[in-house]
Amino acid sequence: MLEIKNLHARIAEDGTEIIRGLNLTVKPGEIAAIMGPNGSGKSTLSYILSGREDYEVTEGDITYNGESILELDPAERASKGIFLAFQYPVEIPGVATMQFLKVAMNEQRKARGEDELTTPDFMRRVKEAAEGLKIDPAMLRRPLNVGFSGGEKKRAEILQMALLEPTLCILDETDSGLDIDALKIVADGVNALRSPDRAVIVITHYQRLLDYIVPDTVHVLYKGQIIRSGDKELAQELEANGYADVIGTAA
Amino acid sequence: MNIQTNQPVAKLTVAETALVEAFASQIGELPGNGAVTGTRDRLLDDLKKAGLPTRRIESWHYTDLKNLLRAVPERVAGAKASSVSALVKGSTVLPVLQGEAHADAQIDGVTITAFRDQLSDGSAVAGLTALDKDDAIGRLNGSFVRDGLALVIPANAEIEDVIELQASHGEGQIHTRFPVSFGAGSKATIVERHRSETDAAALVSSISDLTIEDGAEITWIILQSQGPSDTHLAQIRVKLGAESKLRLYVINAGGKLVRQELRIEVQGEGAELTLRGVNLLGGDTHTDVTLVLGHNVPHTNSTETFRNVVFDKASGVFQGMIRVAPDAQKTDAKMACNTLLMSDDGDFSVKPELEIFADDVICGHGATVADIDRNHLFYMMARGVTESKARAMLVNAFVAEIVEELEEAKLVEPLEEVISTWLDKHA
């Protein structure tokens, strides 16, 4: 489904290389966890996958369903089914949350040649998805993410994910800033989306989230490379012993 | 040879000459008694002597009218303009078509008079003034004004339906005046709308004269959507009484050369001014909003927020002068001017000025000029919204936020519609 081959990427502005020869394959239905210490390139990888133009790919390729996505802008990637749940969702004053959801859903449908949603159909979908995530309808009447608490922002991200029905979900440190109850709600939301044709990449610092979203594969990212891959036991090993062992072995 | 005079008279520009000649040809038919005619004559003479203001006049530094006003279209007598449906549903529309008022609508308790009648009987003369030695708009309008609407809203009247003063015109010269007095404790919402029906050039001057008595609560919305060749020189003069509240919105969405002056005197304790402006600038246009706000008595407050969007080669300026009188303690005034610059060829200048003579006041101002926030853009695109759609939504949000402060859906929705229609055409 997703194949990253010998990827090298740098910050466009100052040329700092962040990703240095990264290889990763994610299959349909797979939940892949990417772990690693601060500064290893985890968030950068999520931005590169979603097409943020602050980063430049200098070598290698990313293919999605067999097709290179490097030339696609973020909106085109999104309509191909790639979704990034932001570590820090952006507050956008003046753009009503409901209006934004509707535009985003319809823009993606348009890009795929599907009909736009009718208003009642849209309202029904939002209502159902919001209930599952315990999102107060009053929150959806506010401008996008403005004044949302940390937990509300993360839930709003998962709400968007549920509504947009992506085929590749990238969760960038979705657990950061969440208390245990909010974490469970978010994890339930993600688990509800598990399906044989949908893959999830969970980027996280800690094992904690992986107790609730159980990964099929775990990869350790360090200095811009995957230095070790394993199954969920690897995450527990990291939790118990820290990154030092893994990094030491690789070095 | 040359005739010697004591004072050398500066050579008049083409536009200045056209104005002097237009006055000579129109004076015979301009409405007004002897006093009005005398005042017109004096104002024109002052205009001629001073000439149109140049950048050397401080208050006109960013709008060199002498240089920018290249020609003056001739007055087109008998041209037709039509009335359109009101901006806000259910409004009472008072049309001023091609500069001629139609004062036949009835609003319970409100006295509506065609301004030409007040010129004819001379009662208008006290208002035909220049506010200072550089008040070119006061002089121009005072010389040429033909008509307009005078409204008197009695004390404690609550006018439920919005009143729309609808000035529609085609090419030519239009000079209108709108004196409106709001009695103590009255409540009303007025839309002052200027619109053109052609692409051919018009010179418009218009002055609105508001007296807001104690405790009145007024919303006044100026919507300027002149044509692409029009010069729009406008002024609103406001006096705010004690405990009164004014929400003044100025929306510029048209015109080739626009100067909108806001001359506001807060002269009653406890008065509150909410001034908001949206400037949508595109093409090869120039728009100037100049505020002179006097906090003249203690315990008054005001907020001023302007949002500007600049496309193409448009230029804009906001001059915001706040004066706090020596005994106007406890004044609270906050001014902000934020600009989205959408083109490298556009520009927007901001000149805030605070003159504070009292020592116990809160006065502040801030200005920003920026492009679309890239984080916002990326976030929206990451959800599948195309770049052009995301940009349009963000620009719209930037200005719509100001309009949303009106809170009343009946006002917010049509104004948002004006904004999105303009953006669809220009973005």
Instruction: Looking at the structure, tell me whether residues B23 and B158 fall in a common domain.
Output: yes
**A2-250 domain in CATH 3.40.50.300?**
yes
- Digit-coded pLDDT (tens) for B124-155: 999 999 999 999 999 999 999 999 999 999 99
Q: Is B381 on the interface with A (CB under 8 A)?
A: yes
Residues B384, A94: C-beta atoms closer than 8 Å: no
Q: Locate the domains of chain A by residue range.
A: 2-250
Q: Judge whether B313 lies within some domain.
A: no
Q: Judge whether B66 lies within some domain.
A: yes
Domain edge (last residue) among B268, B285, B314 = B268
Question: What is the distance between the alpha carbons of residues B144 and B121, in angstroms, rounded to a whole number?
Answer: 17
pTM: 0.87
Q: Judge whether B356 lies within some domain.
A: no
Q: Is A3 on the interface with B (CB under 8 A)?
A: no
| Interface list for B 320-379 with A (CB within 8 A) | 374-376, 378-379
Question: What is the distance between the alpha carbons of residues A80 and A111, in angstroms, rounded to a whole number?
Answer: 9
Q: Judge whether B105 lies within some domain.
A: yes
Q: Is B403 on the interface with A (CB under 8 A)?
A: no
Question: What is the distance between the alpha carbons of residues A86 and A161, in angstroms, rounded to a whole number?
Answer: 11
Q: Judge whether B350 lies within some domain.
A: no
- Digit-coded pLDDT (tens) for B77-132: 877 888 899 999 999 999 999 999 998 889 999 999 999 999 999 999 999 999 99
Domain edge (last residue) among B207, B239, B268 = B268
Closest chain A CA to residue B402 = A94
* Helices assigned H by DSSP within B245-373: none
Q: Return the C-alpha torsion angle B236, B426, A97, B219, nearest 10.
A: 10
Question: What is the distance between the alpha carbons of residues B359 and B346, in angstroms, rounded to a whole number?
Answer: 39
pLDDT at B113: 97
The beta-carbon neighbor of B384 closest among A78, A94, A95 is A78
Q: Is A167 on the interface with B (CB under 8 A)?
A: no
Residues B379, A92: C-beta atoms closer than 8 Å: yes
The CA-atom distances, in angstroms, between B361 and each of B19, B68, B350 are: 44, 39, 23
Q: Judge whether B93 lies within some domain.
A: yes
| Count of domains forming chain B | 2
Mutate to test the interface with A, among B276, B307, B381, B420 (most CBs of A within 10 A): B381
- Digit-coded pLDDT (tens) for A177-199: 888 888 998 899 999 999 999 99
Other CB atoms within 10 Å distance of the CB of residue A151? 17
Q: Where in the sequence is the domain holding B400, given as residue range(s)?
A: 372-427
Q: Is A148 on the interface with B (CB under 8 A)?
A: no
Domain edge (last residue) among B268, B296, B312 = B268
- Digit-coded pLDDT (tens) for B59-73: 999 999 999 999 999
Q: Judge whether B232 lies within some domain.
A: yes
Q: Judge whether B218 lies within some domain.
A: yes
- Digit-coded pLDDT (tens) for B264-294: 999 999 999 999 999 999 999 999 999 999 9
Q: Is A92 on the interface with B (CB under 8 A)?
A: yes
Residues A160, B383: C-beta atoms closer than 8 Å: yes
Residues B384, A100: C-beta atoms closer than 8 Å: no
Closest chain A CA to residue B384 = A75
